[in-house]
Structure 1
């Protein structure tokens, strides 16, 4: 199965072409761009396809990160994935950023549960615990920092993600404290996902930081 993977949930904008039969990323493209995902994504997809030796007609599945993360970036990625899936007549699946973050430590520290913890700003964390086999132990949730420190005190397992520093003094060796997903892991998780679960949908754990100012709205005639 040839998978097109897309990640626009954070400041990065990435695409990859993955062969699940060989468990191999054939090509990837992208950069940490901060903003402008909508303007750059298609070029990165074209680059990944060209370098992989495949065209869109060869794609059997689309996978995309669905959050938590940037509201705008998530919308861009999910819309693109759904559009490609509809046009190509192939399934599209969503991959949680928290699941993708937890996948690397699980491979590095076999047999241990993993807590993926992202700094959500405003003294809040996005958190989820995964068993050693990748099965979610908890739901993805947003937790106030003080509550998280109490909730995860003495956690027996590996902690990863940008909020690691808020929860433990010494991170496990080789474990990333960043929130950037490995696009290859996103592709692998997408290849293993069940398309019967439905189309990818944004995973928003809280409302947007920027809200409309109702008091300045122009009344409709």
Structure 2
């Protein structure tokens, strides 16, 4: 059993993934925007109760590590690492771009896939994958022209909200279904550490012009 956590965006979600059956056996998901830190732990208690399981029944933790909400990612990663340490089990990190790509990778595409998340500011978070799911590139930020060139370079199938953005279509946030996160987490090596993938820094930055010089 895998405890699956997603706090990388406005949704706070937790679930139990049965890797033997390939399905989620219990889950909770709430659109919060903010407040992931306060809601996540009670939510995990609820899904464990619904599944009739205890934390000690988990074999690993799978958590989304970004790119996404700076604060949300920290909350999910901290929880996953804490559980992993206390239970002596691995915590593996799943990028949100892997989750976006999975909706095409799971149907055995005939070409590479470029996962694209609208990052705002006329930029796209993107990552390319081979049809078998192996990463061709690391997660990075691209302008619209650059991501188009990457799609052409690999002859890739584009997927995600970033595709709508570069084509000028309205779109909502990318969904990160817990069953997809669990499926990816189940097959990842334990070397896939639960380390945040921010790409950008936090939105709030100190005003360096007013900084006090330390001597």
Residue from 181, 184, 200 that aligns with 1:186: 181
Q: Distance in 2 between matches of 1:158 and 1:151?
A: 11
- What's 1:173 paired with? none
- What's 1:122 paired with? 121
- What's 1:38 paired with? 37
Contact 2:151–2:157 (CA under 8 A) maintained in structure 1: no
Q: Distance in 2 between matches of 1:169 and 1:206?
A: 23
Structure 1 residue 101 corresponds to structure 2 residue 126 = no
Q: Distance in 2 between matches of 1:183 and 1:40?
A: 17
Instruction: Identify unmatched segments of 5+ residues in structure 2.
Output: none
Distance 1:178 1:132, change over 3 A: farther
Length, aligned pairs only = 214
TM-score in terms of structure 1 length: 0.87
Contact 1:164–1:177 (CA under 8 A) maintained in structure 2: no
Q: CA deviation at 1:198?
A: 5.6
Secondary structure at the residue paired with 1:120? Answer: strand
Q: Deviations over 1:6-47 (max 9, x none)?
A: 001111111010111121211111112111110111121111
Distance 1:163 1:5, change over 3 A: same
Q: CA deviation at 1:90?
A: 1.1
Contact 2:5–2:62 (CA under 8 A) maintained in structure 1: yes
Q: CA deviation at 1:211?
A: 0.6
- What's 1:13 paired with? 12
- What's 1:212 paired with? 206
Q: Distance in 1 between matches of 2:161 and 2:192?
A: 30
**CA RMSD across the alignment:** 2.3
